[in-house]
């Protein structure tokens, strides 16, 4: 039997109050802001305790707003030896910002994380996993080595590509004007650690009043089934793969979600070849085995 090697990793987005300011439509609601405070003050310590139980070091993508609002809880993350990555300041949508605004947010957050952790971040997860061509080039130029925001794969890291273009349908024009294939952009020297909405806790398990699909009361065991099925399929089909779990203290700090994570971790740990790593370790492992493709977009000197 071929030996398996599985790199499992936790990406934890500390959206907290910033999520309501930038993405969830709760910026005018004291009740929703209160839910963000729960995520920081209660959710973070609970998730830290859960990860410590299984000796797992995760990657915490902490918005600048969360870093400045919850300094004591974020200090706990740092002191426990977890990786800290970028996740915007107020969970802003990169596609809604000007280039100048993107620069300002990136510079501010790199400075905050560097001063807080004593070293610059190597990874970034875009809020709402929305990226821009300008933003990817900015990450490269600021020394960021990997991104965790794209969907080209689900269990294999790859070199991030930027600048894909496609033709939208315009029914007021002749059909010939839109019947054109997607044009691929260029690879970059940024490693992409793929994301997957189906292995994310927030969409199915967080109630949002202003979202048409913000139901929030999905049975955690149903979500667990989906996540476990992903893992079991990957394990059957691949000798080497990554299993990047994405979660939030807002959701996974709740009792039903904590118990779900514990059951899933214990299921995964029954298999041979399991390694729990940070996303930067995935990045470094991929770079050690793969050359940057020719003609890739590189950091500006």
Would you say the pTM of this structure is higher than 0.95?
yes
How far is Cα of residue 136 from the mean position of the Cα atoms in its chain?
A: 15
Closest CA to 91 of 177, 24, 154, 32: 24
Domains of the chain by start residue, with CATH: 5-167+175-289 (3.20.20.370)
CA–CA distance, 153 with 157 (Å, rounded to integer) = 7
Q: How confident is the prediction along the chain (301 residues), in pLDDT tens digits per residue?
A: 689 999 999 999 999 999 999 999 999 999 999 999 999 999 999 999 999 999 999 999 999 999 999 999 999 999 999 999 999 999 999 889 999 999 999 999 999 999 999 999 999 999 989 988 899 999 999 999 999 999 999 999 999 999 999 999 999 999 999 999 999 999 999 999 999 999 999 999 999 998 877 789 999 999 999 999 999 999 999 999 999 999 999 999 999 999 999 999 999 999 999 999 999 999 999 999 999 999 999 999 6
Query: How many beta carbons lie within 10 A of that of residue 218, not counting itself?
Result: 15
What is the Cα Rg of the chain in Å? 19
What dihedral angle (degrees, nearest 10) is formed by the CA atoms of 138, 68, 18, 42? 130
């Amino acid at each position: 039997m071929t030996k398996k090697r599985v790199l499992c990793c936790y990406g934890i987005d500390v959206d907290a109050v910033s999520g309501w300011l930038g993405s969830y439509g709760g910026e005018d609601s004291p009740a929703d802001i209160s839910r963000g405070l729960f995520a920081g003050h209660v959710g973070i310590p609970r998730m830290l305790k859960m990860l410590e139980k299984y000796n797992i070091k995760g990657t915490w993508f902490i918005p600048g707003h969360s870093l400045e609002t919850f300094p004591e809880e974020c200090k706990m993350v740092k002191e426990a030896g977890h990786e800290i990555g970028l996740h915007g300041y107020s969970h802003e949508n990169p596609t809604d910002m000007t280039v100048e605004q993107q620069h300002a947010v990136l510079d501010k957050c790199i400075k905050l994380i560097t001063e807080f952790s004593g070293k610059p971040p190597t990874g970034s997860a875009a809020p709402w996993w929305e990226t821009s061509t300008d933003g990817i080039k900015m990450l490269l130029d600021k020394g960021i080595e990997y991104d965790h925001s794209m969907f080209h794969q689900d269990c294999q890291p790859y070199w991030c590509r930027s600048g894909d273009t496609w033709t939208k349908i315009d029914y007021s024009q002749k059909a010939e004007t839109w019947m054109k294939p997607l044009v691929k952009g260029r690879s970059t020297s940024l490693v992409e650690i793929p994301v997957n909405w189906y292995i994310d806790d927030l969409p199915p398990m967080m109630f949002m009043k202003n979202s048409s699909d913000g139901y929030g009361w999905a049975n955690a065991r149903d979500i667990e089934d989906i996540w476990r099925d992903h893992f079991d399929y990957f394990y059957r089909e691949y000798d080497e793969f990554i299993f990047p779990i994405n979660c939030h203290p807002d959701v996974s700090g709740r009792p039903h979600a904590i118990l779900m994570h514990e059951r899933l971790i214990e299921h995964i740990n029954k298999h041979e070849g399991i390694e729990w790593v940070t996303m930067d370790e995935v990045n470094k492992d991929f770079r050690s085995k793969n050359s940057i493709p020719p003609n890739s977009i590189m950091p500006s000197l």
